[in-house]
Amino acid sequence: MRAVPKLDRVLETALYVDDLQRAAAFYEQVLGLRALSEDSRFRAYDVGGTSVLLLFLRGATLETVQLPGGTIPPHDGHGRLHMAFGIATDDLAAWEQRLGEHGTAIEGRTDWPRGGRSIYFRDPDGHLLELATPGLWAIY
98: phi then psi, degrees, rounded to nearest 5: -60, -45
Q: What is the pTM of this model?
A: 0.94
Return d(Cα 41, Cα 65) in angstroms, integer. 11
Check residue 83 and give its pLDDT. Answer: 97
Read off the pLDDT of residues 6-49 as tens digits, 9 standing for 90 and up: 999 999 999 999 999 999 999 999 999 999 999 999 999 999 99
* CA 123/CA 80 separation, integer angstroms: 10
Domains of the chain (ranges; CATH) run 7-78 (3.30.720.120), 80-140 (3.10.180.10)
pLDDT tens, position by position, 56-115: 999 999 999 999 999 999 999 999 999 999 999 999 999 999 999 999 999 999 999 999
